[in-house]
């Protein structure tokens, strides 16, 4: 089970570069938009296991990606921890009450909210070919905490950064609670059929170096260690978006099996600075995939060549954009599949 993607994440270089895309199951696909219109809101779709499984499988059927990424959201963890979660049309997620004072202990946990996610995994893994990898994921504690504290997304994560400075003990207790919930959640995904997991730290880039060590590296290291101990052999991909020059330290200190690289990082630099032999994932700019043209083909080749000497999973630097033309994705897949380093 798992195929070339899983083997690459385990540190083996195959005869080609595997490919999957962050947010590959989503709004750029007409079949997704049709199903979403039938089901209503995003959360209703994500918690409807047969529908969420169908969405997870749609890009596999269309493009033949090497991995299927679970269709869900990082905010199911705060929802299971007791916050109310809903999505405002055109504005994004909302969580209540906001935890600006760090008082998360008053929340009443609702772990059963995660049961549909595990069922989605079971349904999807049963429907996948054996050579496809079932990928699970969760948000990393820092990124999840930014939403829990502010009650919504923000440009600079100011409320959460300020709380972490003002009352580090209170913030540490929230991070610890997220860690525990995340470990249980990922183990539940693995037991349902997930073969590799990704930790998304989408807002890691907003932190100063000492805060990055405390709230990004340390929590992800603890999660990774617990997962490795509890479920040996399941690769963990760490994706600290925006980490820049701090990326090598993250790769060395967290214990992750593979590291995701965003589009702001030169892949030639990453190939030189990351630990030798460590699998790397990335890092095409999603906006270049949207724009297309000759620059797209040139950049795809540059990334492939930069990472040619280490295990490499081709991916984007972040999630695929809603308005990305299908033919651009087809070009990407064909070029990656046809490349031999």
The residues assigned a catalytic role are 23, 27, 36, 73, 147
Question: Which residue from 120, 119, 26, 116 is spatially nearest to 80, judged by alpha carbons?
Answer: 116
**Residues contacting residue 324 through CB under 8 Å, at least 6 positions apart:** 28, 286, 289, 290
Residue 210 CA to residue 208 CA, distance in Å, equals 6
Instruction: Compute how many other C-beta atoms are within 10 angstroms of the C-beta atom of residue 225.
Output: 14
Radius of gyration of the chain (CA): 19
**Residues contacting residue 315 through CB under 8 Å, at least 6 positions apart:** 19, 20, 21, 22, 260, 281, 282, 283, 284
Residue 26 CA to residue 122 CA, distance in Å, equals 20
The burial of 318, by beta-carbon neighbours within 10 Å (0-12 exposed, 13-18 middle, 19 or more buried), is given as buried
C-beta separation of 310 from 275 below 8 A: no
**Residues contacting residue 232 through CB under 8 Å, at least 6 positions apart:** none
Q: What is the DSSP letter of 115?
A: H
Residue at token pair 């925006």: 242
Residue 226 CA to residue 236 CA, distance in Å, equals 11
**Residues contacting residue 141 through CB under 8 Å, at least 6 positions apart:** 175, 178, 179, 182, 215, 219, 220, 223
C-beta separation of 237 from 256 below 8 A: yes
SS3 2: coil
């Amino acid at each position: 089970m798992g195929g070339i993607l899983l083997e690459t994440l385990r540190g083996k270089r195959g005869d080609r570069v595997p490919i999957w895309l962050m947010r590959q199951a989503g709004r750029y696909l007409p079949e997704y938009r049709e199903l979403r219109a039938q089901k209503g809101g995003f959360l209703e779709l994500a918690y409807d296991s047969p529908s969420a499984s169908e969405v997870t499988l749609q890009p596999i059927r269309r493009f033949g990606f090497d991995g299927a990424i679970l269709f869900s959201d990082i905010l199911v963890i705060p929802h299971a921890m007791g916050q109310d979660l809903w999505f405002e049309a055109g504005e994004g997620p909302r969580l209540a009450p906001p935890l600006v004072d760090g008082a998360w202990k008053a929340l009443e946990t609702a772990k059963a909210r995660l049961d549909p996610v595990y069922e989605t995994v079971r349904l999807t893994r049963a429907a996948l070919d054996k050579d496809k990898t079932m990928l699970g994921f969760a948000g990393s504690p820092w990124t999840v905490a930014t939403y829990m504290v502010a009650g919504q997304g923000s440009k600079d994560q100011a409320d959460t950064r300020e709380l972490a400075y003002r009352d580090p003990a209170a913030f540490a207790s929230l991070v610890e609670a997220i860690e525990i919930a995340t470990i249980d959640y990922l183990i539940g995904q693995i037991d349902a059929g997930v073969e590799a997991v990704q930790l998304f730290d989408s807002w890691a880039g907003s932190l100063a170096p000492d805060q990055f060590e405390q709230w990004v590296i340390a929590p992800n290291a603890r999660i990774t260690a617990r997962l490795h101990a509890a479920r040996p052999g399941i690769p963990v991909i760490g994706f600290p978006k925006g980490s820049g020059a701090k990326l090598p330290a993250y790769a060395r200190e967290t214990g992750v099996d593979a590291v995701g690289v965003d589009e702001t990082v030169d892949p030639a630099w990453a190939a030189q600075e990351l630990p030798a032999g460590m699998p790397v994932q990335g890092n095409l700019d999603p906006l270049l995939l949207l724009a297309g043209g000759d620059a797209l083909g040139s950049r795809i080749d540059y990334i492939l060549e930069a990472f040619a000497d280490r295990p490499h999973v081709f991916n984007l630097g972040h999630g695929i954009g809603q308005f990305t033309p299908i033919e651009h994705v087809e070009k990407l897949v064909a070029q990656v599949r046809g490349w031999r380093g």
